[in-house]
Homo-oligomer: A and B are copies of this chain.
Amino acid sequence: MTATAPEALDYAVDNCTIGRAMAVLGERWTLVVLREVFNGIRRFDDMQQHAGIPRQVLTDRLARLVEHDVLRREPYRLPGERTRHEYRLTPKGFDLYPVMVALAAWGDRYLADPDGPPVTFHHVGCGAPVRVRLHCDDDHHVEEVRQVAPRPGPGAHRRGPAQS
């Protein structure tokens, strides 16, 4: 059996934006940190204690998310204590909401306990559950993921000669 080589092999991956996104988000704890902030948990000690993230890992991940402008540090001060910082989502961070909702939907479907998901997402306006949908610019709701196909985009460039 032979088959034609997939077209994607002809294109370089050095500008892949999924790869770049995962270089920012690319391991479990980073998403867990973001989950905490999306859920309103913004302070180091709260996150550390609530999510059970090792302190050094949490320090590293918060620094990386601030460096990449996903989170910003905001000072606060409790009476009689020193100034501390809490972490808030930047607009770039808020734009990760669809990623989080899509990831939670997949997890809820395949990895939830029998009693169901621990968190659900709701529309503030009407209270109805919020879901992620694939939708095309001609205004079709894409029901089936097999109805989606990737194409080389404006930034696609051909690979150089194969390296061995």
Contact = CB atoms under 8 A, between A and B. Distances in A.
Interface of A: 1-3, 5-9, 11-13, 15-28, 31-32, 35-36, 38-42, 46, 49-52, 76-79, 92, 94-113, 115-126, 128-138, 140, 142, 145-157, 159, 162-163
Given A103-B18, A111-B17, A134-B101, A140 B128 contact: yes
Contacts of A1: 76-78
A3 B60 CA distance: 26
A78 B115 CA distance: 48
Protomer copies: 2
A155 B117 contact: yes
A80 to B, nearest CB: 11
Contacts of A15: 112-113, 118
Q: Which of A3, A140, A150 has the most CB atoms of chain B within a 10 A radius of its CB?
A: A150
A151 B147 CA distance: 32
A133 to B, nearest CB: 5
A101 to B, nearest CB: 6
